[in-house]
Structure 1
Amino acid sequence: MDDIEKNEFLREQLDLLKRKRTDENLEWQDVADFRSEFNGDLEHRDTVRKGSKLLYEYIDAGWVNEPVETENNSDNSELIKMRKEKIKLSDARVEYNRLIRQEARKESYVDMVKRIICENVEPMNIPVHYTLFNSSTDLLVHLTDIHTGIEIHNWKNDFNADILRQRIEKFTSDILDIRGQHDSENCYLVIGEILSGIIHNNLRLQNNMDLMEQFKYVSELISAMLSRMANHFSHIYVYTTPGNHSRISPKKEEALDGENMDVLLPFYLKARMQNVENITICDNTVEPEIAMFNIRGNNVFAAHGHKDSPSNVVQNFTMMFNIKPNIVLLGHRHTNGLTTVYDTKVIESGCCSGSDNYAVSIRKVNKPEQTVSVIGENGLICLYDIQLN
């Protein structure tokens, strides 16, 4: 690299570092890739990040200035054009490297799925005895904000892995009691946010399982729940709505679409329940985060709720999909609720874990709870407010 090329490289690098302070889309890995490409040696992003601290101090002090051009105005004009083109090329190179990193991460994520799901999950061989029958109602069951892995001990609530198992067993018993009261034919089970996750430091301190332990434990609890319910319904349809707790990256801005432990659950359940004929694990074919299905002529949309509000979700979904929902399921807010918006029933379900230390600190406490809805041809017949304690 001659002196001219080196000067241009240093100038471009300075531009990139200045932009890094204001451009949220630029990552330290982009700067490291830029240096590695020109120097020929791989550099770690943390090395670049730590070195930039001193440079920024010099920039703020006014000690780092742009090189003064000595050519005439026409030459300066040409140089400016050349520099603009170089910046465009630099931007394209940064974006290209980012796409390569994202694809590599997606491939490693897929490899992890295959390893966990395909190699380590054995089909359930528990005998299931069910009878096909007809009735006028189905059940819509919401199991959301399970938060497996967190351990809570405060004046309002106690929660750990054993208590979660007890609560899901009680919830299953309540579901079967409701099925018996209404002689309901089929069950539509919507599951969301199965893990406590690692998205906040306070959750990391309270979690006593890592992500994979959390995932395997709750997946087995749900598998046992399904195998028990399968004896009492003509058919069970299972849907998943990914939540914000289950992403594999603590930082929201670094998380890629699909990098969420909730999306592994259908793969696990398909492998685990493949021998049970009256259970179907369904995919979200239109929008990965939104379950869309029909119960006795009623359009049902379900989402976790961290991107939606009960007051505008009906309007948003109707405009997005050009289909007006009759029922919308949401979680995330940790309380059971029912709102009517333009004749659409917006049903909110609570959480299985109950009030954690953060909820107590902000004075928002409530019992662990979920909902079960009885659905007929005319829509919602009744809504059960299920307390899990």
Structure 2
Amino acid sequence: MLISEIIRKKRDGNCLTDDEIAQMVQGISNDSASDAQVAAFAMAVLLNGMARDEAAALTLAMRDSGDVFDWSGLPGPVVDKHSTGGVGDNVSLMLAPIIAACGAYVPMISGRGLGHTGGTLDKMESIPGYVATPDNAVFSKVVNEVGCAIIGQTAHLAPADKRFYGIRDVTATVESIALITASILSKKLAAGLGSLVMDVKFGNGAFMSDFEKARELAVSITEVARAAGLPCHALLTDMNQPLADAAGNAVEVVNAVEFLTGVRREARLTEVVIGLCGEMLVTAGIEADRDSARILAQAALDDGRATERFGKMVAALGGPLDFVENHQKYLPVAPVLWKVPAPSAGHVNAIATRDVGLAVVELGGGRRVSGDAVDPAVGLTGLLPLGAMVEKGDTIALVHAQSEEAAKRSQSQILSAYDIGDNPASAPVVRDIID
């Protein structure tokens, strides 16, 4: 069938066959479909949606457009987690080694920062020597020997998705639930997973602010994943405030090392990390129920096994052998540390979380455009959570900046993002679990 006829069929609200979807994806991969045709197809899907079986067929076709990893030789289950992105979300850095310490394997293929949200890959690259984009042989070796590896997407992994997303990004079709689902799952299936757990965020710092829309995405991903043969659970987590009290690259790595070693563990961050670990261990078949799985994950964290795995992963991918013990010596540090004072006494009533993320971008810790270099040293620490009580002049955040001018600009942004008043807010960080 002609590409134009496939577009016409979807434009008219009809379901496509697996062969028609495969032909469309082939056209995206080999450029036999023009940019205009790909855009038209994306708009037709956005307006008319896709049935679960259609979305599963699209996911599998995009998976098969490039390399697909095979971990069948491993002695344990292969599982991963994916987050829809947030501020202060460094969960992957702790989660991967915890799961590896529990007997599963985590080939985690992560992304860079997007808009106001931080990227796991940018965080890992703040570690000197760390190779975030190794070749497939090195990636496989580290996963086999350490149990986990956090790397970036290669050009040969679901290449159809890369072109498709680039066109969607400039044609106002990114918001399609079916296309978001296929984009995420095609890369995860190409990574050769046996199961997946999603962290779908909602709130003012999330890609999808509305809880019901976020839940719709979570249901779509879990159902399409199962239709594609991939067991999948999802947590819906609150992003109406930064998850960790740090936002940036090196500062979030410090936060992660302190979490792993037990120096400091924030309650909300712990709840998300252990909650996701529990679902991963259940979907992987390591434990039969989430309560037992969470106990197992907490034990791997508390007895130091997860910290040991993290150190081995960093070293195996080119980082310092003693990184965990001496991380402060290796990580870059911004020359200016600036206290942001509370303008009045009261409680933290609300936080414009997206604006906090944008403050990091303005400091140089994120990208305004895709080609921007990222400054790993800058960021924010000591971010007070919702409900915190302050007196006038108390520090509500610390700015790590390259100059006092940049720090002052960031202070203004933070003060605008924080609402201090008399109605302390609190909400559970994990709102729902789709299993």
Task: Give the alignment's TM-score, normalised by structure 1.
Answer: 0.28
Which of 1 and 2 has greater Rg? 1
Q: Which has the higher contact order (CA 8 A, sep 6+)?
A: 2
Task: Give the alignment's TM-score, normalised by structure 2.
Answer: 0.26
